[in-house]
Amino acid sequence: MMAWHHATAGERRLLPEARLGGPMPWVIAIMLFLTVLAAAAGLGLRQAATHLRSGLADQITIQIVEGDHVERERQATAAMHELDRLAGIGKHRRVDSSELEALLAPWLGDSFTRGEIPIPAMIDVTLAPGGADRIDAIGEALKSVAPAVRISSHAQWLKPIEALIGTLLWLALALVLLMAAATAFTVVLAARAALDTHRETIDVMHLLGATDGQIARLFQRRIATDAMIGGLIGFSGAVVVVLILSQRIESVGSELFGAISLTTAAWIGLLALPLAGTILAMATARLTILGTLERIL
């Protein structure tokens, strides 16, 4: 007995070849194009979320907001000493004045005189594993030696961005599933239309002793071929778009946008989509055709 997806050379001749003649390959191409774009967006955003979490979530910035320069320096030094002994601290370093000036230059200009404007002292801290749970305790401890301390957790301002990325991820997943469903419905319609078109052939084959499986194989093979051709066209188009977008994102130079990238695993996942589309089309076609043939004696 032949495999359910395989047709002999003779069986292949039993249906006229009209590949790319009908709309189905092009509909599948459009579906796959949109599916790959949605999936690429989802995978890229997931990569960005991972990058942001690993790069920023364990960072806190400590500011000493004190107008008096001498007191500010005293509290900063005390805070540095306190950080040396506190649990949950990985690394910490004082942001030097030239870095602060460089940060402020876009707003205050290059020529502002240091000392004219009181600038908070800043300490960058990388938390040790588990340190994120101790931020409140760290804050309490620092306030006891440096009352002007303010702690800003990067994870705190990252939360809304993470929430947005999470929402976009779900949206991308929903789009992929909707496209898969739309592809399946398209195949159902195409399979039914093909059965109607070849009704006479099917009747004759039935009366000559063809089984439902033999007849289904003829149609599912053709639909799978159409789906594969359409899928590859759609995939190719989407890859071109993704590559162009990647270049554009890189040229923006933003850390947030720059984190949106596709890993090798993500590319392999995208490459699997035309194959998955073909399998989905073939399985849908088989089930539709067998269901329809069941109603014929």
- What residue type is assigned to position 227 of the chain? A
Contact pattern for other proteins over residues 81 through 100, marking x by CB under 8 A? --------------------
What does the alpha-carbon distance between residue 35 and residue 31 come to, in Å, rounded to a whole number? 6
Please report whether residue 211 would count as binding other proteins according to CB under 8 A. Answer: yes
The residue whose two tokens read 């239309």 is 193
163's CB contacts (< 8 A; 6+ apart) are none
Which of 206, 239, 257, 287: binder of other proteins (CB under 8 A)? 206
Please report whether residue 115 would count as binding other proteins according to CB under 8 A. Answer: no
Which of 110, 116, 136, 200: binder of other proteins (CB under 8 A)? 200
Rg (C-alpha) for the chain, rounded Å, is: 31
Please report whether residue 290 would count as binding other proteins according to CB under 8 A. Answer: no
Q: Please return the burial class of 202, using the count of CB atoms within 10 Å of its CB with bins 0-12, 13-18 and 19+.
A: buried
Which of 5, 8, 163, 181: binder of other proteins (CB under 8 A)? 8
Please report whether residue 208 would count as binding other proteins according to CB under 8 A. Answer: yes
136 vs 200 by CB, closer to other proteins: 200
Which of 29, 122, 184, 210: binder of other proteins (CB under 8 A)? 210
CB-based burial, 101-114: b 16+ in 10 Å, e otherwise? eeeeeeeeeeeeee
DSSP line for 179-247: HHHHHHHHHHHHHHHHHHHTHHHHHHHHHTT--HHHHHHHHHHHHHHHHHHHHHHHHHHHHHHHHHHHH
What does the alpha-carbon distance between residue 266 and residue 272 come to, in Å, rounded to a whole number? 10
Please report whether residue 297 would count as binding other proteins according to CB under 8 A. Answer: yes
Give the nearest distance from C-beta 14 to other proteins in angstroms. Answer: 7
Give the nearest distance from C-beta 226 to other proteins in angstroms. Answer: 18
Which of 3, 6, 9, 98: binder of other proteins (CB under 8 A)? 9
Quick one: tokens of 209? 């002793």
Please report whether residue 103 would count as binding other proteins according to CB under 8 A. Answer: no
Asked if 213 and 4 count as a contact pair (C-beta separation under 8 A), the reply is yes
Which residues are bridge partners to 92 per DSSP? 125
92 vs 206 by CB, closer to other proteins: 206
Please report whether residue 214 would count as binding other proteins according to CB under 8 A. Answer: yes
Please report whether residue 19 would count as binding other proteins according to CB under 8 A. Answer: no
9 vs 70 by CB, closer to other proteins: 9
Please report whether residue 10 would count as binding other proteins according to CB under 8 A. Answer: yes
Contact range with other proteins by CB under 8 A, out of 2-10, 41-49, 85-93, 177-185: 2-10
65's CB contacts (< 8 A; 6+ apart) are 120, 148, 150
Please report whether residue 209 would count as binding other proteins according to CB under 8 A. Answer: yes
Tell me how long the chain is: 297
Contact range with other proteins by CB under 8 A, out of 7-15, 46-54, 169-177, 187-195: 7-15
Give the binding site for other proteins (CB under 8 A). Answer: 2, 8-11, 13-14, 16, 200-201, 203-211, 214, 294, 297
